[in-house]
Amino acid sequence: MSVVYLTDQGATLVKRGKRLVVEKAGREIRFFHAFKVDQLVIMGQVHISPHTLAFLMEQGVDTVFLSFTGKYRGRLVSDLGKNIALRQAQFRFMESGEKTLDLAKRYVSGKIQNCRVLLRRQAQTSGDPDLKTAVNRLRIALGSVQKAENPDALRGVEGAAAAVYFRALGRILEGTGLGFQRRTRRPPRDPANALLSFGYTLLANTVETAVQTAGLDPYLGALHAPDYGRPSLVLDLMEEFRPLIVDSLVLAAIKRREITRTDFFFNPEAETPPEDEEAEGLKPEDLPVRMTHEGVKKFVTAFERRLTERAVYPPSGERLIYREVCLAQARLLAKHLKGEAEYASFTWR
């Protein structure tokens, strides 16, 4: 799959024949052919004419809009999935509390297992006893998943495991100058949190593309409760991939100094909410920390590189790139919802 990111602020995307041309200050920056592009990700203040928008829809180019700080804004959808039978099966499945809880447990188990493997690998390298303790606590949490009798209890297990996991990530990043004490989202309060939030937005875009391709409804999930405008199924399927794709990438980028403090803007005068609260509607200039244009480009490049790495996909035994694994998992879920297969999270070994 060919994905093009447009990050040049103030640029304009125009159609020139069969080409899509990016212009800025009256000069051509780059161009590409629409037939070679599967997805176009537009970040921040990039202008597009109505004529160009119509062309993108005609060509079936999945066009996604993000703010420059990585917040999802929306996407061009030329046609909804036509597999109504699959969506009907999805809605019938989610009406069963027992089936929904079982599926949610599979998501959470996969996430905790992958978090555990990531920490175990870090512990083997560093020999840090605190990381080994965290690994053992996540092993115990895995056992608690199956004992959860309702969705709230399951979310409680997931939340407790996440707290253990993120404390351990903070331990790993000590001394890098980009670490964090706790996971903060709106707004991220430090560079590591900013990278995680941005990475999760990119991952959500990847998973939503897989969900749409598989013909599923992105707004009805099992673990994340349905809510207006919330792509619950996308959030569900993301869980197992967070440590696999984003967290491991962030750790590597920081520890290898591919991303440094020079890739961020810091605003020491920014007013942030108390530790246990989050703020909505903040402008980029209000954030305590945000990525520079160069930092965004570097991280996007690293993220796309990560998606092209290969791993063995157990159901088929094939070596697939991670982008293909996301799609394969969405299709496996579709079969699960129809009673044709058993869904299992994709996990590290």
Domain containing residue 143: CATH number = 1.20.120.920
- Of the candidates 76, 108, 127, which is a domain's last residue? 76
At which of 37, 58, 76 does a domain end? 76
Provide the residue range defining the domain that includes 56: 3-76
Q: What is the distance between the alpha carbons of residues 103 and 345, in angstroms, rounded to a whole number?
A: 10
Q: What is the pLDDT of residue 276?
A: 45
- 348 within domain boundaries: no
Domain-located, residue 344: no
Among 15, 44, 76, residue at a domain's last position? 76
Query: What residues contact 223, with CB distance under 8 A and at least 6 apart?
Result: 103, 104, 107, 108, 151, 154, 155, 232, 235, 236, 239
The verdict on 92 and 122 lying in the same domain is: yes
Cα 280–chain centre separation: 20
What is the pTM (predicted TM-score) of this model? 0.84
- How many domains does the chain divide into? 2
Inter-residue contact 37 to 30 (CB < 8 Å): no
Same structural domain, 10 and 102: no
Domain check: are 166 and 281 in the same one? yes
User: Each residue's pLDDT tens digit in the chain (349 positions)?
Assistant: 577 888 888 889 998 888 889 988 888 888 888 888 877 888 888 888 888 888 888 887 878 888 776 677 777 766 555 678 899 999 999 999 999 999 999 999 999 999 999 999 999 988 889 999 999 999 999 999 999 999 999 999 999 999 999 999 999 998 888 878 788 777 788 899 999 999 999 999 999 989 988 889 999 999 998 888 889 999 999 999 999 999 999 999 999 999 999 999 887 666 665 554 455 555 666 677 888 989 999 999 999 999 999 999 999 888 999 999 999 999 999 999 999 999 999 998 7
